[in-house]
Chains A and B, each alone.
Chain A
Amino acid sequence: MTEKIGVYVCHCGTNIAGTVDVAEVRDWAEKRLKGRGVVVARDYKFMCSSLGQELIEKDIKENELTRVVVAACSPHLHEQTFRTACKRGGLNPYLCELVSIREQVSWVHTDQEAATDKAKAVLSGGVERVQHHEPLEPLRVPIHPATLVVGGGIAGIQTALEIADAGKHVYLVERDPSIGGHMAQFDKTFPTLDCSACILTPKMVSAGTHPNITLLTWSEVEKVDGYVGNFVVTIRKKARCVNTELCTGCGICQEKCPKKVIDEIYEAGLGYRKAVYTPFPQAVPKYPVIDKPNCTYFLKGTCKACEKFCPTSAIDFNQEDELITVEVGNIVLATGYDLFDPRRIPHYGYGRLANVFTSLEFERLTNAAGPTNGSIVLRDGKTTPKAVGIVHCVGSRDRNYNNYCSAICCMQSLKFAHLVKERTGATVYNFYIDMRTAAKAYDEFYQRVLEEGTLFVRGRVAEVTDAARLPSEEGKLIIQVEDTLAGKQRRIPVDMVILSAGLQPRFDAKATAKLFGISCSADSWFIEKHPKLDPVATMTEGVFIAGCCAGPKDIPNSVAQGAAAAARVLAHIDEGEIMLEPVRATVIAEKCSGCRICNNLCPFNAILFHEDRMVSEVNAALCQGCGTCVAACPAGAITGTGFSNEQILSQIEGLLMLNIANGRRPVEIAEAVMA
């Protein structure tokens, strides 16, 4: 054994030491793995602390260690920490191996003896593997300075503005005709009751006019090629049928268009728009789009009213979708959420009982620019309600629909209660399971709404019905609920019911995740690199997430994430290049038989074949390091850096050196290998 290996076993406080006998693992490694090159074995309370790291540095210098194995937490957490410590000690960082005895041993097993034995096996696997490690240098990849931001809601706008203000170019892609997202639909924002449009539209205008932002609305990303630093993104610009170079946004086309269409998106189905439209007056960009499936000209071949009246001849019925390609170094996804469809809960009556509204419909009702000019009225368009019931947690915290809390509904419901009270003087009931008002000035707002006289009933609503049992219930909606504080069933007649519907991942979140090569949780929210410490990065380098696409959030959190994602992107751009793991495949030309089996296996077309020399070669710039070709080569001519055959085969041997407590063969195998 020529390598001198140092072994470090971490207690992680009691996280590891509570289940694994750390001292025994250390002793075992010291004695039994001596023959495998282990010269130093230590245990320490927290290996990741600076004192723990210094232990490693000191040993590398004093004991001339050539390899280091740390048995601690997952490499996804601290691999970098220990590699850096090795580097400081003067050892190539890739000669260090971190094996997980926390996530994979102490946290998942309860039997101390079995856990200790497994920790020994895992450690021994690391010791065998590390002998075959090679000194490596990280790959340096240049970063293209432009950025793609997908989604023009508040999170995406914030990201785009932060990056653009720093002087870097941004492509902001939005699939609707205008940026603004859900925030553009709201009337007031909690808890300050700021007018939503008043605080959002200046940002929209900045994004629309910023010299560093290319705004691509009515557009969708079709294809993503490449990798961090060098993505090539294909974007479909859907045909607007309006020439944006000529259009002045005067709005005459919208006035003259004879076709009225129910606006299912912006007005939540409560209002109308025309077949040629901008979703709302402050839309950015100001150019309208023609809704082809509803346009009379596209349906019947005649009309062209918009074309006739357009003062600048900007209408172009022959416009076609355009595919454009952009090169970017980083991508930020801020694709937002969909509202839970309360039709899925039939006993709440939405879609069947006229005066049951969704939260988004209510936002439009209260909005001064909405279909009722801001008056809160029943579905008939004129009656002001005298009693209103607000149902919390619709589709959230419910095993039948979504288990999670949608985070914003309590505050949103309080806001609704305040607005109803202020504008109609109606009696307002809130039906809640728990009040969750945990953020700056949120609970104070709750207190304020309580003081205003809104009534709170603790209990999940069982049913909303129009079947009256008493004369006083005639013509009303009756909310059947168990009041869990009073301990009795109640029937509360109201005129209007607002369902505070939860937030859901976008209907196409899974497809989006696949397109950009990131993962989704079981609910379909995008998964962050680390839920606590790296909330805007993803497992895919160069792809970041911000806002509700990663989980329900309120506006301040979405804005903070947008800015955080921008900071991460700017750090990449400023650095100019990014260091990547040097996990790549290489063909050893002398061993290659030219069979070309590997050629078709690579999804990145990184393997090229030299006809003249009859050998294959891996293009390191294109190779992503999956190792499929390494496994396939019948001649064993391809090596996978960091995951070579020798490394994995010896790790297997090491893992099996010791069998589980009191099982078979522990001694013979251990000794056979050591002999």
Chain B
Amino acid sequence: MSETFEPVIIGFTCNWCSYRAADLAGTARVKYPPNVRLIRLMCSGRLDPTFVLKALASGADGVLITGCHPGECHYIEQNYKAMRRFLLLRRTLTQMGIEPGRVKLVWASAAEGVRLAQEIANLVEEVRALGPLNWGKDETSSFILPPLPFELEAA
């Protein structure tokens, strides 16, 4: 058993942008930590929040949700729906005693292989710092949701 904790992260990618970005990162041999395992969806709008809960319940320590940049959705506007669900999901996770930092939403276009790799590396480090997911163990814990950049902008 190694001393450092290696988190497992499930990543959901959009067929049109972030999955392509992952392909591009591969073709360009950009390196990122092997802790992430990707699932291809047709669109971030397909992401049922259940998938995130399922991943966490099945042993993942973190979840990465990726989609096209706002305004660039292949299906016009479905990434906005993913964003709405993500905001709601963060609140639900908090209520369940799960650190909201374990689930992250990232926009990555098909050209942003390097950016996607960087975001993966960042999330792995963030989740590593949080430690293994103590699902349901710590019922007294409560977390304050930090505001997201676009929430700050809106305010």
Contacts and interface: CB of A to CB of B under 8 A. Distances in A.
A251 interface: no
Interface string A607-630: 000000000000000001111101
Interface string A639-675: 0101101001101110110011111110001000000
Contact of B110 (A125, A527, A626): A527
B2 interface: yes
Interface stretch (B73-81, B94-102, B138-146): B73-81
Interface string B22-41: 11011101111111011111
B137 interface: no
A253 B69 CA distance: 49
Interface string B1-44: 11001101010000011011011011101111111011111110
A656 B32 contact: no
Interface stretch (A214-222, A371-379, A477-485, A516-524): A516-524
A380 interface: no
Contact of A107 (B19, B26, B42, B46): B26
Contact of B112 (A514, A522, A539, A665): A522
A115 B23 CA distance: 16
Interface string A473-493: 000000000000000000000
Contact of B26 (A74, A601, A649, A655): A74
B59 interface: yes
Interface size class of B (residues with CB under 8 A): 35 or more
B127 interface: no
A660 B43 contact: no
A103 interface: yes
Chain B contact residues, majority secondary structure: loop
Contacts of A663: 2, 5-6, 8
Nearest to A110: B31
B54 A652 contact: yes
A649 B56 CA distance: 12
Nearest to A527: B110
Contacts of A648: 39, 41, 48, 51
Find the residue from B27, B39, B46, B78 having the highest chain A CB count within 10 A. Answer: B46
Nearest to B58: A656
Interface in A508-532: 514, 517, 519-522, 527
Contacts of B37: 118, 121-122, 125, 655-656
Given A514-B71, A656-B55, A108 B42 contact: no
B46 A540 contact: no
B86 to A, nearest CB: 12
Contacts of A651: 39
Contact of B42 (A627, A632, A662, A665): A627
9 contacts: A104-B26, A107-B25, A107-B29, A108-B29, A108-B34, A109-B34, A583-B42, A601-B45, A626-B45
Top 10 A-B pairs, shortest CB-CB distance: A103-B26, A627-B46, A628-B45, A626-B75, A631-B48, A626-B43, A603-B76, A107-B26, A114-B34, A656-B59
